[in-house]
Amino acid sequence: MVIATPVYQSSLTGALKNLFDHLPTIVFEGKIVDYVSTAGSNIHMLVAENHLRPILSYFKSHVTTKNVFVSNECFNIENVIVNGDVE
């Protein structure tokens, strides 16, 4: 499973938080879950790591994500990744 969220005010969306609040605690148990987030600036790059990983751990899921932070500077004018570390 993949969970994705934009970052607003240094946090995940209220809609996603409400979803987590209403799910049974066994819904992700034993499942492989990764996450993706997008934000308006580089200062929000750790929001998913600091917010989603603990929630998914609480649900006893297996989070396999290794963080990759991709900023605008990693792309060329045609939106092709030009940063070797990101690739």
Q: pLDDT tens digit string along 3-17?
A: 999 998 889 999 999
Burial degree of 7 (CB within 10 A; 0-12, 13-18, 19+): buried
14-46: pLDDT as tens digits = 999 999 999 999 999 999 999 888 888 888 888
Q: Which fold has domain 2-74?
A: Rossmann fold (3.40.50)
How far apart (Å, rounded) are the C-alpha atoms in residues 50 and 8?
14
pLDDT at position 56:
92
**Residues 12/5, Cβ–Cβ less than 8 Å:** yes
Domain spans in the chain, listed from the N-terminal domain onward: 2-74
Please give the mean pLDDT across all residues of the chain. Answer: 89
In the structure, what pLDDT confidence band is assigned to residue 55 with cuts at 50, 70 and 90? very high
pLDDT at position 44:
85
In the structure, what pLDDT confidence band is assigned to residue 54 with cuts at 50, 70 and 90? very high
The whole-angstrom distance between residue 70's C-alpha and the CA centroid of its chain comes to: 12
Label residues 57-81 b or e (16+ Cβ within 10 Å = b).
Answer: eebebebebeeeeeeeebeeeeeee
pLDDT at position 41:
81
How far apart (Å, rounded) are the C-alpha atoms in residues 11 and 44?
8
